[in-house]
Amino acid sequence: MDPRDNPYTPGAGTVPPALTGRDTELERFDVLLERLWRGRTAQSQIVTGLRGVGKTVLLNRFRELADERDWVTVEAEIHSRTELGTLMSRLCRRSLYSIDGPRRWGERARRAAEVLKAFTLTVDPAGSVTIGADVEAASGRGDSGLLSDDLTDVFVELGEAAKERKTGVLFLLDEIQFLPRADLEALILALHKTTQRQLPITLVGAGLPQIPKLAGEAKSYAERLFTFPKIGKLPERDAARALVEPAADLGVRVDAEAAAIALEFTEGYPYFLQELGSAVWDLAVDEHVTVADMRAALPLVERKLDDSFFLVRVERCTELELAYLRAMAELGAGPQKSGEVATTLGYSKSEELGPTRANLISKGLIYTPAHGLAEFTVPQFDRFLRRHMPLERRTPQRRSPGRRPERR
């Protein structure tokens, strides 16, 4: 079929033509905005899940829903080098200018601008973020140099300005697991104060499954400030709809047997479904996707995933980190005990591999669902590793009897 008509959207954060299986999350978000609009309190959200389950897709859909309600929305993706203070100064400036342009600033908006300017000069003395030449920096608000206190001052003033203009501010932060503990704590404290004052500011984030644990470690009341909706692979019915409905909308029929093969291969993971749907569309010769079409698409999709989705992750690893991942894959797809991974590699103690395990967690390749356990953050990663990497066990080095190591 004509690839120009291909309805599937394999990509990073691209909203699929049929967003299925996420009705509960969308409804909860709508309730969140409505409660804040009515001046009531509501918990912010951090969506968690593995790679490829649609966390970023949900954030993008949340932004669309907030835009429809005339909320101010600002978004960013966190990475390991993010300076939270500088980032938030930019996002808050954008929010304030969207709430009320400088030429129409009322008392609340101008006060927010003054506090924001003090904050910006504190976190970024070089002045890469400007507020306005006619705005004087506030004194005693937003300028203490303590990120948690200063960000709280900014959030409160921004919330008051939004309330005055009968709107709200939605911060959308992706990959939030990369925030250092101190930055996450500052963000939690600032949101906590706006919640106490019933101001229309909220944050919806997305990150890997370790986020609830990280947030709880940063601040013990995080579980009361946030909800942590966990999304994963789609139930069979919703996965089938995600594959079949986009084709049906264009007059193309997917055989039930072909769809069943697709669900078995993808295990219902949304990104894999989009890749397979796109591939089989381009392969099919007419408006009828058969079992033969689907089987012909499978090796093409597997090769594409291997060369991009999976490979980009292992290229960032050292040899020992790769060996650790391969040992996990040897044990299976689920959570694996650190001790068993070490034994598989030929080590006598898991502590010897502690730094390696920590590096893999910081790179976002594994996470710890419970103490002493590790699990892949990428679905089907174990299959990829077994396909392309041999398992190499450590060979213990033995000294010759009576020989001492040379001094250097």
Same-domain check for residues 220 and 302? no
Same-domain check for residues 248 and 374? no
Cβ atoms within 10 A of the Cβ of 394, count? Answer: 15
Residue 49 has pLDDT above 90, yes or no: yes
354: left (phi over 0), alpha (psi -120 to 50) or beta: alpha
Domain CATH number, residue 307: 1.10.8
The residue from 257, 280, 313 where one domain ends is 313
pLDDT for 132 equals: 66
Same-domain check for residues 202 and 268? no
Residue 6 lies in a domain: no
* 193-206 average pLDDT score: 95
Residue 356 lies in a domain: yes
Same-domain check for residues 85 and 137? yes
Same-domain check for residues 174 and 306? no
DSSP label of 22: -
pLDDT, tens only, 271-284: 999 999 999 999 99
Same-domain check for residues 248 and 102? no
Same-domain check for residues 150 and 242? no
Residue 404 has pLDDT above 70, yes or no: no
Residue 8 lies in a domain: no
Q: What is the mean pLDDT of the chain?
A: 91
Same-domain check for residues 145 and 221? yes
162: confidence class by pLDDT, cuts 50, 70, 90: very high
Burial class (CB in 10 A: 0-12, 13-18, 19+), 211: buried
Residue 92 has pLDDT above 50, yes or no: yes
Considering the chain, what percentage of its residues have pLDDT values greater than 90? Answer: 79
3-state class of 85 per DSSP? helix
Same-domain check for residues 118 and 246? no
Same-domain check for residues 222 and 322? no
Domain containing 321 equals 317-388
* 217-245 average pLDDT score: 93
403: confidence class by pLDDT, cuts 50, 70, 90: very low
pLDDT for 397 equals: 46
Same-domain check for residues 72 and 89? yes
Which among 226, 225, 255, 220 has a CA at the least distance from the CA of 240? 255
pLDDT, tens only, 328-358: 999 998 899 999 999 999 998 999 999 999 9
pTM for the predicted model, two decimal places: 0.89
- How many structural domains comprise the chain? 3
Same-domain check for residues 301 and 266? yes
Considering the chain, what percentage of its residues have pLDDT values greater than 70? Answer: 95
105 CB-side CA count, 13 A: 18
Q: Please tell me the distance from the alpha carbon of residue 126 to that of residue 84, in angstroms, as a whole number.
A: 16
* 52-61 average pLDDT score: 94
394: confidence class by pLDDT, cuts 50, 70, 90: confident
325 CB-near residues (< 8 Å, 6+ apart): 314, 317, 360, 365, 366, 376, 381, 385
Q: Tell me which amino acid residue 234 is.
A: L
Residue 408 lies in a domain: no
The residue from 257, 290, 313 where one domain ends is 313
Domain CATH number, residue 149: 3.40.50
Domain CATH number, residue 372: 1.10.10.10
* 270-298 average pLDDT score: 96
Residue 13 lies in a domain: no
pLDDT for 407 equals: 38
